[in-house]
Amino acid sequence: MELVEEIRNLIELKIEGDYWDFKEMWHDNKASLLHDIICMANNQLGRDAYIIIGVSDSRCQDGVKIKGVTEVNRKDQQHLIDFLRSKKFAGGLRPPVYLQTISLCDDDGIPQSVDVIIVKNSEKTPFFLVDNFRDRDKEIRAGYIYTRVGDTNTAIDSMADMDKIEYLWRKRFGIDLSVNERLLRLLDSPDDWVGDLNWGNSKYHKYFPEFQIQIEDIEDQSQFSTNSIMQNIADYQADRSYSVSNLTIYYHSTILYKEYVIYLDGGRHLIPFPKTHTVYSDTVVGGEPSLTYIYLNMDSVSGKLFRCFCCTEHNWYNEKWDLRPGVAFLIFDDEAVQEQFNDFVLNRLYAIEDEYCKALTAKKYVRNSLTDEYYIGGWSKANEIKSCIYMNNFGTWSGVTCMTNCQKCQKKEFNEGAKRYDHRIYSI
pLDDT at 267: 82
pLDDT at 281: 73
CA dist 166 and 42 (Å) reads: 11
Phi-psi region of 380 (alpha: psi -120 to 50; beta: other; left: phi over 0): left
Check if the beta carbon of residue 246 is closer than 8 Å to that of residue 216: yes
pLDDT at 405: 37
Q: Which residues contact 421 (CB under 8 A, 6 or more apart)?
A: 388, 389, 391, 392, 411, 412, 413, 414, 415
Phi-psi region of 136 (alpha: psi -120 to 50; beta: other; left: phi over 0): left
Check if the beta carbon of residue 392 is closer than 8 Å to that of residue 344: no
pLDDT tops 60 at residue 150: yes
pLDDT at 282: 64
pLDDT at 379: 42
Could you give the angle at the alpha carbon of 53 between the alpha carbons of 47 and 59, nearest 5°? 95
Check if the beta carbon of residue 186 is closer than 8 Å to that of residue 214: no
CA dist 181 and 174 (Å) reads: 8
pLDDT-derived band at 370 (thresholds 50, 70, 90) equals: low
The helix-helix angle for 383-394 and 349-362 (nearest 10°) equals 140
CA dist 267 and 100 (Å) reads: 44
Structural domains in the chain?
Answer: 2-173 (3.30.950), 184-203+226-239+269-422 (no CATH)
Mean pLDDT of 111-122: 95
pLDDT tops 50 at residue 312: yes
The pLDDT tens digits of the residues spanning 189-223 come to: 999 999 988 777 999 999 999 999 999 999 999 98
Phi-psi region of 207 (alpha: psi -120 to 50; beta: other; left: phi over 0): alpha
Coil/strand/helix, residue 386: helix
